Structure 1
Amino acid sequence: MEAENHTAIEQFFLIGLSEDPEMQSILFGLFMSMFLVTMLGNLLIILVTSCDSHLHTPMYFFLCNLSFVDICLTSTTIPKMLVNIYMHTMEISYTECLTQVYFFNNFLGMDNFLLTIMAYDRFVAICHPLNYTVIMNPHVCGLLVLLSWIIMFWVSLIHMLLMKQLSFSINTEIPHFFCELTELLRVARSDTHINNFFLYLVTALLGVFPVIGIAFSYFHIVSALLKMSSIGNKYKAFSTCGSHLCVVSLFYGTGFVVHLSSSIAHSSQRNTITSIMYTVVTPMLNPFIYSLRNKDVKGALGRLLRRVHFCP
């Protein structure tokens, strides 16, 4: 099919998870349930960490931001998917698609930054406890989050501006349930070398270095834990890191599988299913991981429920 200029493109077609009509109602119910659980769970984390003064610490400040970003990340993809299933259509407009690319990359990058900052926070708390309140003061915490937003704003904006230079065939089909950047580059009909170069550069800088930073932090954390003589202190320190490690493993593990499998042997169905893990499942599980494995969060949640129960 002859490629047309991107200005002539009005819409794309999202293939989704299945073209089987009998599966649509099952997928709608499943993803609607997951979306609601994600919203309620993360909103509860935000409410608990905001209302309980015991949780007004850097660690829970970053957790609150992570929950907010997870809400935004899931809201970028799932509502459009649910609308398409309900309306029995696969259409997404050109403008909606680029907007989805921008916000998805923005919030995914923020997840990446926040997990890295949280690892650094645990490193300072365990390895430099006497200087913790000085190093991780509210000004520094706010500045770290603000810089992360600024960086991702410009990175996502450059991605979107580069996308606007590409041309696509009319009625282009995207083998995914949302407008994912790498899938769009694959179906483009114009040269994507600049886009791919910038994508690889960003992945190297904002993907590899944070992982190295997290690994460095936990290397020193484990070393510090081994030197502790008190089993109680070891358990307390490890309990604050266990939840973070679970989330990091889910987020980076599934992301690594997606990019590795797509670079070795492209399989749209496999990539789509794996993408669900870090776009839907991980944001949904984060509140449970942090609440079930964290005594402070469970205690704050209990105090909040008692306060609501005894409210006249």
Structure 2
Amino acid sequence: MSESHHTPSAGAPTLAETIAVTLARSFSDGEVGFTGLVTGGAAALFGTSIPLAAMALAQAMHAPNLTILLAGWSHNPDLQSLSVMPDSEFDAVLRDLPCDAQMMTYPGPWSIRRGDIDFGFSSGVQVDVAGNINSVCIGDPARPKVRLVGPILQPEHMTLFGREYVMMPHHARRNFVERVDYVSGVGYPGGLEGRRRLGLHHGGPEWVVTPKCIFDFDKENGRIRLKSVHSEADRQDIAAHTGFDIDSAGVPQTAAPTPEELDLLRRHVDAKGVLLGRHGSRPAV
């Protein structure tokens, strides 16, 4: 499994399925998870589809009381009803999707500011060694080379949620840098003590998920590290595709889904292949 686009052998888990199962195992019963509505190819797959599949799988496996907040206002949407993915946060497909409830007023039953969200998902163009993310600009912020989409709730995700999963659809040196050009979501600058000096006493990035690996953090020292690699081929070229020193020696391979997990994902969570593209609606990563 690598960043090159390929079709797995019949029955074998795709990279997207493997990541979804790995995420699902990390969620607990009773938690509240939040993901936005990302559009566009690999960004949508990593930013919305995989998180939704992971949360729905956790509900089916071991966390029946986990709450899915899609775009912040659709609570526990019936993902099996989807024939296509919505292409905006207020798309008619999402508006008409059956769900437990829709919330269009603040604060409602779950409030970001109260700290009611246990975990969320975000992305960016850059991630640095401290786990800061950037989706604002490339280059000097005063005279940027490229202006990006903007912070899109990232400050709240990285400070007010219990933990954050940063979903990166591409893994290249330009994405993983020593220091981001602009901090739109704060990681662990100076470690946990550095966050405390900023007035942040909980939250922060938990994992950074890429097509090649999963990173986690030495939070005390504020340093990103490898948690697992998706394949031995990925292990060999991660250093060449990462803009800071990273040690892959002894790092385990990302655990494959069990047959039971894969069957549940394919037959119950994503039977139509709308989320993870197994039936050709979206190419494998």
What TM-score results when the alignment is normalised by the length of structure 2?
Answer: 0.28
Q: Which has the higher contact order (CA 8 A, sep 6+)?
A: 1
Q: Which has the higher helix share?
A: 1
Tell which structure's C-alpha radius of gyration is larger: 1
What TM-score results when the alignment is normalised by the length of structure 1?
Answer: 0.26
